[in-house]
Amino acid sequence: MVNHSELCQEASDIHRSKIYIFIMALVVILNSIGLVLLINTAIFLVKTKKISFNLRFLLGSITVALIGRDVLTAVRALYRIFLAIFVTDECGFISTNYFCVLESAITAVPFNVALYSFPVISAERLLATLFRKIDEKQIFKNLVFIAVVITVCEYFLAKFRYAG
């Protein structure tokens, strides 16, 4: 078993490392640049009429998810920098397992939205190409319903798979 004071010392050494602080600062800078670019993409998707509504909606959902991911990752890095600068107690760097899992789960949600949106976009475009004469709104409603059902089922199957 690891001594509590050794664990605190190791956590303090990692968080106060100049390389670690430099990397966290780079994360904040790169996420700020990415945020500006993603906001420009979102504005383009709102203003353009050249892309079909369904595709704009799906690309917009990916863009919003990535904006959320950028913001959450930047906040996480800023929090780490704040800890390195202002925390004086070495054990102040140690987080509970619950906090780490919660933080990871919250920042994983936008990534999963983007991940699952690509197959939905591909399927929607395929169906729109194959069935041009059928109303696109009807295809989109059915596709979204199917995607939601598949996502929910996959989520619960993954929970059961990792629980055992």
Euclidean distance between the first and final Cα of the chain, in Å? 26
* Dihedral sign (CA 122, 62, 136, 155): positive
The span from the CA of 13 to the CA of 6, in Å, is 10
pLDDT tens sequence for the chain (164 residues) = 456 678 778 877 777 889 988 999 999 999 999 999 999 999 998 888 888 777 787 788 888 888 988 998 999 899 889 888 887 777 777 777 777 777 777 777 777 777 777 777 777 777 777 777 666 667 667 777 777 777 777 766 766 665 55
The residue among 46, 43, 50, 52 whose CA lies nearest residue 124 is 52
- pLDDT at residue 137, as a whole number: 66
- pTM attached to this predicted model: 0.67
Torsion 5-7-13-15 (CA) sign = negative
Model pLDDT, residue 39: 94
Cα(1)–Cα(146) distance, integer angstroms = 49
Expressed as residue numbers, the domain containing 17 is 4-163
Number of compact structural domains in the chain: 1
CA 146, 70, 85, 16 dihedral sign is: positive
Instruction: Give me the pLDDT at residue 40, please.
Output: 95
* Owner of token pair 């509590």: 4
